[in-house]
Structure 1
Amino acid sequence: MDLNLRQAVKNNIAGHNEEQLEATIAEAIQSGEEKMLPGLGVLFEMYWQQASEDEKETMLSTLETEVGKL
């Protein structure tokens, strides 16, 4: 069986509005379940591919700050 995780995640969220997407993200983070991480990764990838250079710089700066706290 050929499982395309990216496509499965995209199929699961297709047609979701902003409120539904926020609920999906919040639930994934709050649950703390490892199985939710790939879905968050796909959402991040979708964002990153459409982000402007300024948005990417902001994200990278935020991530650098948070990684520095580890």
Structure 2
Amino acid sequence: MNLNIRQTVVQNVKENNVEQLKDTIVDSIQREEEQLLPGLGVLFEIIWKESPEAEQQKMLQVLEGGLKH
């Protein structure tokens, strides 16, 4: 079976508005189900690629702080 996770995730949310995207992310995190992690990874990849370097640096700082808790 040839499954393209990136393509599937994008197809599932590409028509969503900001609130629906937020709901998708929050729901995926709250459910704490391992099978949802790849989808969150795809969404993060899109965010990362679309963010300027200054925002990427801020995300890295937030991530570093979160890992230290």
User: Which TM-score applies when normalising by structure 2?
Assistant: 0.96
Q: Distance in 2 between matches of 1:58 and 1:14?
A: 25
* Structure 1 CA distance for aligned equivalents of residues 40 and 63 of structure 2: 15
1:1-70 pair list within 5 angstroms: 1-69=1-69
Choose between structure 1 and 2 for higher RCO, CA contacts under 8 A separated by at least 6 residues.
2
Q: TM-score, normalised by structure 1?
A: 0.94
CA RMSD of superposed structures (Å):
0.7
**Percent identity among equivalent residues?**
48
* Equivalent-residue separation in structure 1 for 2:6 and 2:43 (angstroms): 9
Aligned length: 69
Cα deviation 1:42-70 (Å, max 9, x = unaligned): 0000000010111001000000111112x
Q: Which structure 1 segments of 5+ residues have no match?
A: none
In the TM superposition, structure 1's runs of 4+ consecutive aligned residues that sit over 4 Å from their partners are none
